[in-house]
């Protein structure tokens, strides 16, 4: 009887400590599987969008940028020739229609030829537009900024005399146990190459007023607050192509906690934004440095 009482004192609900530990681990695994399945189903419609074709187009164009330019020149010549042929056929049709007693066979043939030339002209223009877009995106880079200004700087690939300097969406500080976000002034103007709306209008569409500014955020809270910005950029809801927003970042983690910086910066921030780490100016003095102000370069 005493042995049985001693055994019962070493158990909980008839289970040993080891058995309880195994049961808890099993329950945690079930919970993690449920969370993974939930987010997997929620993000499934976006997987194809997020895996944008932009990097593929850039990679193809970068293999032979000179060849892309020559192909554009060739298509431009073809377009000019087709346009001349189209104009010639239109004049011929007008002449045939004005002639009394002209047989309909010759007129029908001229109209048929004109229709073919118009179709060829449309196809050539479409092909030329596709090549132009490839070179335009190649000039932007693999991860073009959603908000930017053009500044003078020679592109080593396309030989263009400009590049896109990002405007920043937020200021973000990383601390040992949380992150904090502060808003920035919305830049003036708008994108230059896709007829986009002014940045101020786009800021409203991004629901920036819902961002929790100035409060400590865990990594998970930060992801949940920012994920829609990443999706809208990558799914071409901001620009006509896939893009990302850029942010300025401060490191205020303790000297012995640089793993925390690496985790927050590499595994969280860089999965959502393009980042620029600010050095030489403290977080509390960041307002003293102008930001999102146009830079005018001399010609």
Whether residue 186 is found in the same domain as residue 73: no
Whether residue 135 is found in the same domain as residue 156: no
In a domain, 294, yes or no: no
Region 123-144 average pLDDT = 60
Burial bucket for residue 168 (CB in 10 Å: 0-12, 13-18, 19+): buried
For 231-279, the pLDDT digits (tens) are 999 888 998 888 899 999 999 998 877 889 999 999 999 999 999 999 9
In a domain, 293, yes or no: no
In a domain, 152, yes or no: yes
For 185-214, the pLDDT digits (tens) are 999 988 877 777 899 999 999 999 999 999
Q: Which of 140, 174, 193 is the last residue of a domain?
A: 140
In a domain, 23, yes or no: yes
In a domain, 51, yes or no: no
Q: Which of 140, 161, 188 is the last residue of a domain?
A: 140
Region 64-71 average pLDDT = 60
Whether residue 131 is found in the same domain as residue 162: no
For 23-41, the pLDDT digits (tens) are 888 888 888 887 777 666 6
In a domain, 54, yes or no: no
Whether residue 23 is found in the same domain as residue 64: no
Res 128 pLDDT > 70: no
Q: What span, in angstroms and rounded, lies between the C-alpha atoms of 111 and 92?
A: 9
pLDDT for res 87: 75
pLDDT for res 201: 92
Q: How confident is the model at residue 86 (pLDDT cuts 50, 70, 90)?
A: confident
Res 10 pLDDT > 70: no
Task: Find where tokens 């087709």 sit.
Answer: 82
Strand-by-strand arrangement of the 246-251 sheet: 179-183, 168-174, 246-251, 274-277
Do 223 and 197 meet the contact criterion of CB atoms below 8 Å apart? no
pLDDT for res 21: 77
In a domain, 55, yes or no: no
Domain coverage including residue 6 = 2-35
In a domain, 297, yes or no: no
Q: Which of 110, 140, 170 is the last residue of a domain?
A: 140
DSSP string, 187-202: PSSB-SSS-PPBHHHH
Whether residue 169 is found in the same domain as residue 242: yes
Where does 50-188 show beta strands of DSSP type E? 148-152, 162-166, 168-174, 179-183
Instruction: Measure CA of the first residue to CA of the last residue in the chain; give whole Å.
Output: 98
Number of domains within the chain:
3
Q: For residue 275, what are its two tokens? A: 């980042």
The greatest distance separating any two alpha carbons of the chain, rounded to the nearest whole angstrom, comes to 126
Whether residue 169 is found in the same domain as residue 264: yes
For 209-230, the pLDDT digits (tens) are 999 999 999 999 999 999 999 9
Whether residue 165 is found in the same domain as residue 236: yes
Res 84 pLDDT > 70: yes
Whether residue 180 is found in the same domain as residue 221: yes
Which residues contact residue 155 at a Cβ distance below 8 angstroms, ignoring those fewer than 6 apart? 139, 161, 162, 163
pLDDT over 90 for what percent of the chain?
29
Q: What span, in angstroms and rounded, lies between the C-alpha atoms of 285 and 273?
A: 23
Whether residue 151 is found in the same domain as residue 250: yes
Whether residue 159 is found in the same domain as residue 226: yes
For 159-188, the pLDDT digits (tens) are 566 778 899 999 999 998 899 999 999 999
Q: What span, in angstroms and rounded, lies between the C-alpha atoms of 152 and 161?
A: 6
pLDDT for res 298: 41
pLDDT over 70 for what percent of the chain?
64
Whether residue 19 is found in the same domain as residue 83: no
Report for 14-18, 122-126, 208-212, 237-241: range of highest mean pLDDT: 208-212
Whether residue 128 is found in the same domain as residue 185: no
């Amino acid at each position: 009887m005493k042995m049985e009482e001693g055994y019962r004192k070493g158990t909980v609900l008839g289970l040993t400590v080891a058995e309880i530990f195994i049961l808890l681990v099993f329950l945690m695994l079930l919970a993690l599987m449920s969370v993974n399945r939930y987010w997997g189903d929620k993000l499934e419609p976006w997987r194809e969008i997020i895996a944008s074709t932009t990097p593929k187009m850039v990679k193809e164009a970068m293999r032979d940028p000179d060849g892309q330019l020559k192909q554009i020149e060739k298509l431009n010549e073809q377009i000019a020739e087709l346009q001349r042929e189209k104009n010639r056929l239109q004049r011929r049709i007008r002449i045939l229609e004005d002639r009394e007693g002209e047989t309909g066979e010759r007129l029908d043939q001229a109209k048929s030829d004109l229709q073919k030339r118009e179709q060829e002209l449309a196809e050539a223009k479409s092909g030329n537009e596709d090549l132009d877009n490839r070179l335009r995106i190649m000039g932007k880079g693999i991860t073009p900024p959603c908000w930017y200004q053009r500044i003078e700087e020679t592109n080593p690939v396309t030989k263009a005399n400009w590049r896109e300097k990002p405007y920043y969406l937020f200021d973000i500080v990383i601390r040992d146990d949380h992150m904090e976000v502060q808003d920035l002034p919305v830049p003036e103007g708008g994108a230059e190459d896709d007829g986009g709306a002014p940045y101020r209008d786009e800021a409203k569409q991004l629901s920036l007023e819902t961002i929790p500014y100035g409060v400590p955020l865990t990594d998970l809270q930060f992801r949940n607050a920012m994920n829609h910005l990443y999706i809208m950029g990558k799914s071409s809801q901001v620009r006509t192509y896939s893009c990302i927003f850029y942010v300025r970042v401060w490191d205020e983690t303790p000297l012995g906690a640089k793993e925390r910086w690496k985790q927050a910066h590499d595994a969280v921030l860089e999965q959502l934004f393009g980042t620029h780490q600010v050095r030489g100016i403290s977080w509390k003095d960041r307002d003293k440095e102008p930001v999102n102000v146009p830079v005018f370069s001399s010609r």
